[in-house]
Amino acid sequence: MRTSQRGIDLIKAHEGFRTKAYLDPGSQDGKPWTIGYGHTKGVKEGDIITKAQATEFLRQDVKEAESHVNKKVTVPLNQGQFNALVSFVFNVGRGAFSRSTMLRKLNASDYAGAANEFKRWNKNDGRIMEGLIKRRADERACFESGQAPKSAAEMVKQLKRPVNKKKPTGWQKFWKWLKG
């Protein structure tokens, strides 16, 4: 399977684009150096990149994540599930995904259980990160809906909203009341 454009947009929206190499703001030691759309291989302080180079690196990095998902997942996936998993692997890495409860549950055909695992991956170096909370919510929505949640522009707007500050909708209140 291959990542759709909506899946690429999901990754781009959460990684953002930077022309100059920067240290990971969420890690305690600042490493790794990162550039473009979340590219880390061979990046060092002072590196500069064009959008075309960043797009090519993104294509290569996504291809590696796709290959890993295709290799490790043994159950059928729809496009949205695949897109979400590629975004997840792109962010957490192949080793973390391979050892994850998410993969174990997914390969046991526990799709709902696997979806619930996204929210557990909200930390970097032991600290909860708002950006990871939002990313995992979007990945889970993509996984559960069968498609990437929104266009990249809509996702960028959504990233600027406060976390967990939405008021429940009428339907959510009704269901909560109904469940007792």
Look at residue 179 in the predicted model and tell me its pLDDT: 58
Alpha carbon distance 149, 173 (integer Å):
23
Return phi, psi of residue 150, to 5°: -155, 175
The one catalytic residue among 15, 66, 117, 139: 15
- Convert the pLDDT of each residue in 72-125 to its tens digit: 999 999 999 999 999 999 999 999 999 999 999 999 999 999 999 999 999 988
Look at residue 29 in the predicted model and tell me its pLDDT: 75
Using pLDDT thresholds of 50, 70 and 90, give the confidence band for residue 26.
Answer: confident
Mean pLDDT of the chain: 86
Q: Does the annotation mark 130 as catalytic? A: no
Written as one string, the DSSP assignment of 66-87 is: HHHHHHH--S---HHHHHHHHH
Look at residue 151 in the predicted model and tell me its pLDDT: 47
- Convert the pLDDT of each residue in 128-162 to its tens digit: 999 999 999 999 999 998 654 444 445 555 545 55
CATH number (3.30.230.10, 1.10.530.40, 3.30.70.260, 3.50.50.60) of 5-159 reads 1.10.530.40
Question: Residue 171: is its pLDDT beyond 80?
Answer: no
